[in-house]
Structure 1
Amino acid sequence: MPIELLGMIATTPGSESLAVTGPVVDPDYVREFSRAHEEAGFDRVLIGYSASSPDGFAVASAALHATERLKVLIAHRPGFVAPTVVARKLATLDHLTGGGRVAIHHITGGSEADQRRDGDFSEKADRYRRTGEFIEVLRRTLTSADPFDYEGDFYRVEGAFSAVKPATDAGIPIFFGGLSDGAVEVGAAGADVYMLFGEPLADVAEHIRTIRAAAAKAGRTVEFSLSTRPIVAPTEEEAWAKAARIYAEAEARIAARDSGDTLSFARPLQREQNSVSADRLQEHAKRGDVHDERLWLGITRLTGPSGNSTAPVGTPEQVAEALLKYYDLGVTRFLIRGFDPLDDVREWGEELIPALRAGAQARDEARAAESEERVA
């Protein structure tokens, strides 16, 4: 099947390895960054979430109105806004931006400190159960033709109904991520797309088997997304040299931060994070900086539990082939973001993205031909 390519936009320039410049919200940068993704051939962009970052719905609206085809994936943390309200916000935005361009990503919260910044002192296990209820009420609000009642441990509504429904039959795709206890059950039961970090191939294969089995018990199927940070260059040697430069720049930025400098509000260097997915990446990094030939975890080891930080390194063709090995496992969506965010997006549009699409198509055609031969 055709792959979906996702990027990630921010509201101001900056990354682990680049100094932050400009205001926290730079409207011109948001428009430029969004258009760059569309021109490079991306299908969708993720708008991240933290307790100190700009509002994701507003950023999504700006990105949608700056582009013609680009879709958005709005990260949302359940527990602060009622699911019925979020459903109406999503459906309204869907209508106002052409239809079929809006999706939501549920993040239950891996950082206790960040949860508490917005007043949430609940236990992580409870947060996952709350996310499960949130998704259930959200989906019913988006699809129910009649008012409905719901009573759970965290949400209770009477006569809930939304006059505005998604603008297309595709609805509002529901994404979810997390590997903590309880996460798989929640995601398998409620998500359309389960988001995974870029772990080594064998580990991703095991996650897919586990989640598929849980979804099957619930009478459902789930698709999968994988998040990485590709580093590409014309030659493999140049790509590894580029990785070394990124490491050195990030190391210098961390030293500057520890001496009193600060990074962007959106920086992923949140050492207090309590995430099973991030902890797993740290365990992989302890075993070695490189896995599966070119999956580099140097930044993972350097930055600590920082989430999406693994990087396939090589030429565009080599990186595309490395990512397509996950496609062979069942991953149909790839979330890629760069260490030099805007320039990386433009560079990827020249060779990496076309190579990914061509490689996926070639695999699909080969499988179709094999199926026809077996039938014959």
Structure 2
Amino acid sequence: MSLHITGMIWARPTSDLEVQEGAAFQPDFINHITRLHEEGDFDRVLAGYWTNAADGFLVLAQAATAVKRLNFLLAHRPGFVSPTLAARKLATLDQLTGGRLALHVISGGEDIDQRKDGDHADHGARYRRTDEFLDILRRIWTAEGPIDHAGEFYRFEQAWSDIRPVQKPYLPIFFGGASDIALRVAARHADVYALFGEPLAETSAMLDRVRAASSGDHVPAFSWSNRPIIGATEKQAWEKAHDYRRRAIAKLESNGTQGLIPAGQAVNSQRLVSLAQRGEVLDERLWTAMAGVLGGRGNSTALVGTAEQVARSLLRYRGLGVSHFILRGWDPLPDVAQYGSELIPLVRELAKAEDVGRVSVSLHAAAE
């Protein structure tokens, strides 16, 4: 099975542990954190979507100037940019990066956050809109002549794009969402289905749900997100984890937040908070406490241990069928450097050894 490791970049220094400072767009920082990922042998970096942050299209355009090999993943919320324009913007960025772009579609799980950008569609409507949006993107990218469209959310006439993606016929689509309607849309469009960092049993059950919703000729690959905390010893890793929790709570208090952030509206947020309520540590080293602090928002669970312990835990998810991992640090720059020097080489080495072992077993069985 293939193995793909994705990191995350921002337009300025960003952490759940420290108050953000400095300009909202810092090209030198973008270049630095992107180069760290390439030097650390990550396959791809994700530029996320926030309603208060720099535009991800331009963040990745800047990042592309800093590296030659690294691939890119752009988080995008349908509904704010016409799909005909989005198709041209995405194709342009794919051309700019030399065919190294993938699209991470975020339909939006929080009504309040969506309204910050003027979107008042409800949860179900957002996923129906995403379905229509992705249909249109692919038609624009593959059309042999101008096209018309009249749907529930979009209507246009004689749309055409001179610019097309380098990748044919279209960009890879990453997709997330745990609701039933999200799974139906994922079954139609996702090349990679993205999960948050849940325990093995819950992850296996979600993979089964996605496979059941997918047609036999199209089952997506799977991505699993986590924020590992690594120490020279297991004891040191747990000490670091507890210090991170203390610092995260101190940051919330400095921003005027009293107590922990409540669970959000999104199904995935609620699932992560429920894990924190069930136990602080699950599956031996999956630490859920930060999900409780942050209300389950974003990627907020952590595998805690030595590099080898965390690597072997990641491979247990690979054994379930996960081939992509999104690994984001709590203290981004030092964590990215540590992942690159300690964790990623070990994950790749152990995965290769597992694959060789499986081939040897298969060949031995065939010979008998």
Indicate the TM-score class for this superposition, using the shorter chain for normalisation. Answer: over 0.9
Partner SS state of residue 245, structure 1: helix
Q: Tell me by how many angstroms 1:147 deviates.
A: 3.4
2:330 corresponds to 1:339: yes
Which runs of structure 2 are paired with 1:82-101 in the superposition (5 Å)?
Answer: 82-97=82-97, 99-101=98-100
Aligned residues: 366
- For residues 365 and 140 of structure 1, the distance between their equivalents in structure 2, rounded to whole angstroms, comes to 41
Does the CA contact (< 8 Å) of 1:2 and 1:357 recur in 2?
no
Instruction: Give the 3-state SS of the residue equivalent to 2:180 in structure 1.
Output: coil
Distance in 2 between residues matched to 1:324 and 1:272, nearest whole Å: 29
Find the aligned partners of 1:43 and 1:51 in 2 and give their Cα distance: 27
- Residues 45-124 of structure 1 mapped to structure 2, 5 A cutoff: 45-97=45-97, 99-124=98-123
Out of 329, 342, 348, which is 1:357 matched to?
348
- CA deviations 1:74-102 (Å, max 9, x no partner) are 110001111121111111121122x2211
Alignment-derived partner of residue 302 in structure 1: 293
Aligned partner letter, 2:193: Y
Aligned to 2:237: 239
Matches within 5 A, 1:209-224: 209-216=208-215, 219-224=217-222
- Once the two structures are superposed, the pairs formed by residues 154-165 of structure 1 within 5 Å of their partners are 154-165=153-164
In structure 2, relative to structure 1, the CA distance for the partners of 1:58 and 1:316 (3 Å cut) is: same
Shift of 1:309: 0.4
SS of 1:7's partner is: strand
Separation in 2, partners of 1:107, 1:12: 22
Give the secondary structure class of the aligned counterpart of 2:89.
Answer: helix
1:275 and 2:266 aligned = yes
Q: How far apart in 2 are the matches of 1:286 and 1:273? A: 15
State the partner residue of 1:324.
315
Paired letter, 1:282: V
Distance 2:76 2:295 in 1: 24
Instruction: Identify the residue that residue 191 of structure 2 maps to in structure 1.
Output: 192
Write the deviation string for residues 281-330 of structure 1: whole angstroms up to 9, x where unpaired: 11111110001000001111122132210000000110011111111111
Helix, strand or coil: the match of 2:45?
strand
Partner of 1:288: 279
Judge conservation of contact 2:142–2:169 (CA < 8 Å) in 1. Answer: no
CA distance in 1, matches of 2:350, 2:169: 26
- Aligned residue for 1:250, secondary structure, equals helix
- In structure 2, the residue matched to 1:44 is 44
- Which one is further off, 39-48 or 142-151? 142-151
**Deviation at residue 158 of structure 1 after TM alignment:** 3.2
Alpha-carbon deviation of 1:64?
0.8
Q: Using the alignment, how far apart are the partners of 1:107 and 1:153 within structure 2?
A: 19
Q: What's the secondary structure of 2:65's corresponding residue?
A: helix
- The answer to whether the Cα contact below 8 Å between 2:138 and 2:170 also exists between their aligned partners in 1 is no
1:223-262 paired onto structure 2 within 5 Å: 223-258=221-256
Deviations 1:98-157 (A, max 9, x none): x22111111011221111111111111110111111111112222233433333211233
Kindly state the Cα deviation for residue 271 of structure 1 after the two structures are TM-superposed: 4.9
User: Once the 2 structures are TM-superposed, how far is the Cα of residue 259 of structure 1 from its aligned partner?
Assistant: 6.1
Letter matched to residue 127 of structure 1 = R
Q: Is the 8 A contact 2:261 2:292 kept in 1?
A: no
Report the Cα offset of residue 228 of structure 1: 0.5
Distance 2:84 2:330 in 1: 37
Q: Which residue matches 1:266?
A: none
- Contact 1:111 1:272 (8 Å CA) reproduced: no
User: Closer, same or farther in 2 for the Cα pair 1:374/1:157, shift >3 Å?
Assistant: farther
Unaligned runs of 5+ in 2: none
Instruction: Give, in angstroms, the shift of residue 270 of structure 1.
Output: 7.0
Q: CA deviation at 1:6?
A: 0.5
**Match of residue 367, structure 1, among 352, 358, 366:** 358
Name which of structure 1's ranges 63-72 and 157-166 shifts more when overlaid on structure 2.
157-166
* Change in 2 beyond 3 A, CA 1:372/1:144: farther
1:315-353 Cα shifts (integer Å, max 9, x gaps): 011001111111111111100111100110011111100
Q: Distance in 2 between matches of 1:259 and 1:179?
A: 28
Counterpart of 2:206?
207
TM-score by length of 1: 0.93
What's the offset of the Cα at 1:276? 0.3
**Counterpart amino acid of 2:18?**
L
Amino acid at match of 1:54: A
**Alpha-carbon distance between aligned partners in 2 of 1:366 and 1:83, rounded to the nearest angstrom:** 46
Distance 2:170 2:346 in 1: 30
SS at match of 2:340: helix
Change (3 A) 1:254 1:166: same
Aligned alpha-carbon RMSD (Å) = 1.7
Q: How many percent identity over aligned positions?
A: 48
CA distance in 2, matches of 1:93, 1:17: 32
Q: For the residues of structure 1 that align with 2:314 and 2:124, how far apart are their CA atoms?
A: 32
Gaps of 5+ in 1: 261-268
For 1:105, what is the secondary structure of its paired residue? Answer: strand
Distance 1:112 1:259 in 2: 21
CA shift, 1:257, in A, is 1.4
Q: Tell me the secondary structure at the aligned position of residue 18 of structure 2.
A: coil
Amino acid aligned to 2:77? R
The 1-side partners of 2:80 and 2:307 are apart by 41
